[in-house]
Chains A and B, each alone.
Chain A
């Protein structure tokens, strides 16, 4: 990050101070707009339904007593424990597979000079243009034939096969920045490419792996399309799939039985609970979060 020397050298004349104050004020306004919905959610999750309907001022600090039971009530409307376990299994195994296979493939493209490398890498980049919806039907038929519907496999196995062009690209770009001297030294010591991958590349691509891990996590955590197509048995549902039905049944109840049925405070507590892991990861790993976006562009 560059230092603004003009700030240090020029005297703090009032126009400059005024400018700083104005910029700061604009930033504060934008920040409030950005953060308000989240505060509304977290505070609302602790309010009673009646309060949400009646309050004439939005209390961002919910009045006592805080309704902690909203969290339990919402969580127990469906088998969310099971959904959480399913989501964690799918997310963890996809992440491991994605990181392992994508880093291997990326290493191959970055370092090994095999015939047809340039062409194949162009194919990798080209596959980013193919929307997943185009391949969805044949892939569904394939998994159906294999008898994999209502198992975790359709949501995991593709990640073990390169993880997707996005992750290969991300990791390859990072591997390219590691000096080849390290590889050469390992080679002289008698390391095969497998050894180099294991002892030189993997230990040195931590930040890129972190960025890829975040995106892999977010993908599995947020995916609705996959679970919707492959998981019809409620026992295999993920959180996202469960929340869809939660939303549907409650929205229908609202239409049928009037607003009294609409349990909005449950929406907020369930939303808060499922957002919490994402929020924690963002706060802890913000640097990797943003660097991944910048190196490889926005996703969908």
Chain B
């Protein structure tokens, strides 16, 4: 009787299995359609485009490996954009992890009002977007901007934040770090998943605050830090909106982010074949990063299950 009411997990009657298959595929059919039309299909097409020269409207020419050769041997904008993105990603992610760790440790102390402060710390991350990017344009402005206003009050010289080679990329890093709340919220969740009794036990054994952090908090937090590294790196490699809105790669290509360059080659220069090489390289870099980090994670990340 009960067996009839609850379908057996391992062996279903033939009709039941057919029914589950039918409804299963019915429900995921939107995704299957979207996957074929907007992901798998385009992925294959862009792989094919790598070996062509194509401007979108006229005829398509097979050029073999010429695009790849050009990328490796002659394209200075490509190597430049790769360097810009790498420098940006490195500084953004490492600083964001350090700052968010400090903020999360602070909030985890549960002093009076910590819930309110969590809300305030996350606020800039929540409102980051097109409007905030727009406001950053104003804040970095040389004559009226907030940063130079503050400098003026303290009698420092104005800085051409977005208009000088040495300050443009650091300006972007500052801008990104303002949204550190994203990292902080996840870091805080990681901290709160560390069992309290571990700290208590170590304290009973006479561990100091620093030893506690070094030997208990940090190892147990490493999966979270690792996750933030992967996601943060991938996110900062894909910066586009800010770059296109504020500097368009200038001055002197010092902020020509990789995806910005990709966009320009594809949709301004209309070199779809060559842009596909760039796109696939980005895909491979992101996939490689993810896999490398997963591989590294197994060596140094300390998962909680290993403790138990």
A27 to B150, CA, bound (A): 22
Return the CB mask of B224-243 against A: 1 if under 8 Å, else 0.
00011001101100101100
A200 interface residue, CB < 8 Å from B? no
Listed by A's residue number, 27 A-B pairs whose Cβ atoms lie within 8 Å are A20-B112, A26-B106, A30-B106, A34-B124, A37-B124, A37-B146, A58-B146, A104-B27, A105-B28, A112-B20, A112-B24, A113-B12, A129-B283, A134-B43, A138-B46, A162-B31, A218-B129, A221-B130, A240-B130, A244-B245, A267-B135, A267-B137, A271-B132, A274-B134, A275-B132, A278-B129, A282-B126
Q: Is A72 an interface residue (CB 8 A)?
A: no
- Greatest chain A CB density within 10 A among B111, B120, B135 is at B135
| Closest beta carbon of chain A to B185's beta carbon, Å | 5
Interface centre among B103, B137, B178, B280 (most CB of A within 10 A): B137
- Residues from chain A with a CB closer than 8 A to the CB of B221 are none
Contact B134 A286 (CB under 8 A): no
Cβ–Cβ contact A136 & B34, under 8 A: no
B214 contacts across to A, CB distance below 8 A: none
Q: Does any Cβ of A come within 8 Å of B286's Cβ?
A: yes
Smallest distance from the beta carbon of A189 to chain B beta carbons, Å? 12
Please give me the residue from chain A that is nearest to B25 by CB atom.
A114
Task: Chain B residues near A31: list those with CB within 8 A.
Answer: 117, 120-121
* B125-144 with Cβ < 8 A to chain A: 126-127, 129-132, 134-135, 137-139, 141, 143-144
Within 278-300 of A, Cβ neighbours of B (below 8 Å) are at 278-279, 282, 286, 289-290, 293-294, 297-300
Among A48-56, A63-71, A88-96, A205-213, which stretch is in contact with chain B? A48-56
- Check B216 for interface membership: any CB of A closer than 8 A: no
Chain A positions within 8 Å of B114 at CB level: 27
Residue of B whose beta carbon sits closest to that of A31: B120
A229 to B241, CA, bound (A): 13
B112 & A297 in contact (Cβ 8 Å cutoff): no
Q: Once bound together, how far apart are the Cα atoms of A219 and B25, in whole Å?
A: 28
A162 to B33: give the CA distance in the assembly, Å: 9
CB of B138 within 8 A of CB of A264, answer yes
Contact (Cβ within 8 A) A23 B121 = no
Q: Is the CB of B35 within 8 A of A127?
A: yes
In the complex the two chains form, what is the Cα distance from A137 to B95 in whole Å? 34
Q: A2-B196, A138-B46 are in contact. List 6 more A-B contacts (CB 8 A).
A: A114-B28, A133-B262, A133-B282, A136-B266, A247-B137, A278-B129
Q: How distant is the Cα of A57 from the Cα of B141 in the complex, in angstroms?
A: 17
> B300 interface residue, CB < 8 Å from A?
no
Whether B119 and A286, one on each chain, are in contact in the complex, defined by CB atoms closer than 8 angstroms, is yes
Asked if A135 meets B46 with Cβ closer than 8 Å, knowing A161-B30, A271-B131, the reply is yes
Task: Please measure, in the bound complex, the distance between the C-alpha atom of A286 and the C-alpha atom of B30, giving whole angstroms.
Answer: 30
The reply on B21 being an interface residue by CB < 8 A is yes
Chain B's nearest CB lies how many Å from the CB of A30? 6
Residues of A within 8 A of B103 (CB): 30
Partner of A37, one of B120, B135, B238: B135
Q: Is A124 located at the chain interface by the 8 A CB criterion?
A: yes
Question: A123-159: which have CB < 8 Å to B?
Answer: 123-124, 127, 129-131, 133-142, 144, 158
Contact of A224 with B127 in the complex, beta carbons under 8 Å: no
Contact B143 A259 (CB under 8 A): yes
A101-B31, A138-B49, A244-B245 known; A133-B124 Cβ under 8 A: no
Contact assessment for B279 and A136 in the assembled complex, using a CB-CB cutoff below 8 Å = yes
State in angstroms the CA–CA spacing of A4 and B228 once bound together. 28
Q: Do B227 and A297 touch (CB < 8 A)?
A: yes
Question: At the interface, is chain A mostly helix, strand, loop or mixed?
Answer: helix
- Are the CB atoms of A101 and B30 closer together than 8 Å? yes
Residues from chain A with Cβ under 8 Å of B130 in the complex: 221-224, 239-240, 243, 274
Q: Which residues of B contact A75 (CB under 8 A)?
A: none
Q: Which of B24, B121, B238 contacts A34 (CB 8 A)?
A: B121
Q: Decide: A244 and B56 in contact? CB cutoff 8 A.
A: no
Q: Which A residues are CB-close (under 8 A) to B112?
A: 20, 24
CB distance from B121 to the nearest CB of A (A): 6
Max chain B C-beta neighbours (<10 A), residue from A130, A160, A298: A298
Q: How far is the CA of A93 from the CA of B143 in the complex (A)?
A: 41
* CA distance in complex: A57, B152 (Å): 9
Shortest CB-to-CB span from A197 to chain B, Å, is 7
Is B189 within 8 A of A294, CB to CB? yes
Residue of A nearest to B290 (CB): A129
Indicate if B74 sits at the interface (CB-CB under 8 A): no
- CB of B42 closer than 8 Å to a CB of A: yes
Given contacts A105-B28, A131-B286, A142-B42, contact A112 B23 (CB under 8 A): yes
Residues of A within 8 A of B134 (CB): 243, 247, 267, 270-271, 274
A134–B245 touching, CB < 8 Å: no
Chain B residues closer than 8 Å to A101, beta-carbon distance = 30-31, 34
Which residue on chain A has the smallest CB distance to residue B49? A137
Given A221-B130, A222-B129, A35:B120 Cβ within 8 A: yes
Query: Which of A35, A109, A123, A251 has a CB less than 8 Å from the CB of B123?
Result: A35
Contact of B127 with A105 in the complex, beta carbons under 8 Å: no
Known: A37-B135, A105-B31, A268-B138. A133 touches B122 (CB 8 A): no
Separation in Å of the A249 CB from the closest CB of chain B? 13
A27-B113 in contact (CB<8A): yes
In the bound assembly, the distance between CA atoms of A127 and B37 in angstroms comes to 13
A197 vs B266: C-alpha distance in the bound complex, in angstroms? 42
Instruction: Report A-chain residues with C-beta under 8 Å of the C-beta of B152.
Output: 56
Q: Does A237 contact B (CB under 8 A)?
A: no
